[in-house]
Amino acid sequence: MAVFLTVALLATACPLLAFDMGQSTRCVAIPNQMNICKDVGYSEMRLPNFLGHSNLEGEVVPRSEDWKPLLQTGCHPQAQAFLCSLIAPVCLDTFFQPCRSLCVAVRDSCAPVLACQGHLWPEALDCDRFPAEEDMCLSPHAKFNDLAKVLPKPACQACPSLEEAPAMKTVLDAIFHHDFAVTAKLHRLRHPTGEPEFEIDGRVEFIRQGPLLPYDTRHLLQQWFLINLSCASGLVRPGRSQLYVLTGSAQPDGALALTLVFPWHRKDANIAGAIRKWKRHRC
């Protein structure tokens, strides 16, 4: 998976103040290859956009791809709407920007994800540059904000411990003392660019479900790898898929953190025995 916003993008993104509301603009169709804004609910965009990009093929489309990894982390449910309102602003009779409150909501959720990769929130997205009047701009929806507070979500964290060939008691203690425990088969690929990509093969099986949602856990773990790339690189070796036991805890704000990771090798009887014992005598 591509690394988050490149340093070049963060350093050279055009400030919003460079966009002149009085300048001449034109409406163009949102191109099919502009994947992150294909399903935003409208089909035409303004050029230049609110980031000062006027060349569709040379600037807008390639720069939009730089945001894709951040959106894939699910850092905020309205991150796509916010970014596309700047990259591909809707073509209406008047300019329609995101509200300052929407920017703040997205920034507060997504800036920690960027920080996890060593990047700052881009200066071009300084929230003070957006209008405060929510009746003339794109505002945050309360239902999305409420949902974001209750659904479990991955977060940037200190790397969990990796324990090879653990004793049965170690695995049992980990299951007992943490909020959830799952088994998942993880696969690490390498692209020609050298960037690692982490995939979850098949289903995620629950040992202890805790706060996890059955329909969302696989996606949740995938997002964890996207956010914590440096941790993931140390946990998962390149090559064929490897089965792991993952244990972790939920924070009061719903953020999930992995705590202990056990590679489950085929000949490791202690992990199998610990799981059987837990299922027979769970407290």
Residue 210, phi then psi, degrees to nearest 5: 55, -130
Q: What is the pLDDT of residue 197?
A: 79
Local structure of 62: helix, strand or coil: helix
Local structure of 160: helix, strand or coil: coil
Q: What is the pLDDT of residue 218?
A: 92
Quick one: which of 78, 69, 135 has its CA closest to 106? Answer: 78
The answer, as to whether pTM is greater than 0.85, is no
Q: What is the pLDDT of residue 117?
A: 85
**Do the Cβ atoms of 3 and 69 come closer than 8 Å?**
yes
What domains lie within the chain, and their CATH numbers? 7-150 (1.10.2000.10), 153-281 (2.40.50)
**Cα 232 versus chain centre, distance:** 14
Query: Which tokens hold the place of 281?
Result: 């005598």
Count the residues in the chain: 283
- Burial (0-12, 13-18, 19+ Cβ within 10 Å), 87: buried
**Do the Cβ atoms of 40 and 80 come closer than 8 Å?**
yes
Q: What is the pLDDT of residue 206?
A: 96
Q: What is the pLDDT of residue 215?
A: 86
Let me know how many helices (H) and strands (E) the chain has, helices first.
10, 8
**Do the Cβ atoms of 45 and 89 come closer than 8 Å?**
yes
Q: What is the pLDDT of residue 20?
A: 53
**10-residue mean pLDDT series, the chain (283 residues):** 43 45 79 89 91 88 89 91 94 88 94 92 92 82 54 87 95 96 89 72 93 90 91 84 94 87 91 92 61
| Beta carbons within 10 angstroms of residue 24's beta carbon | 6
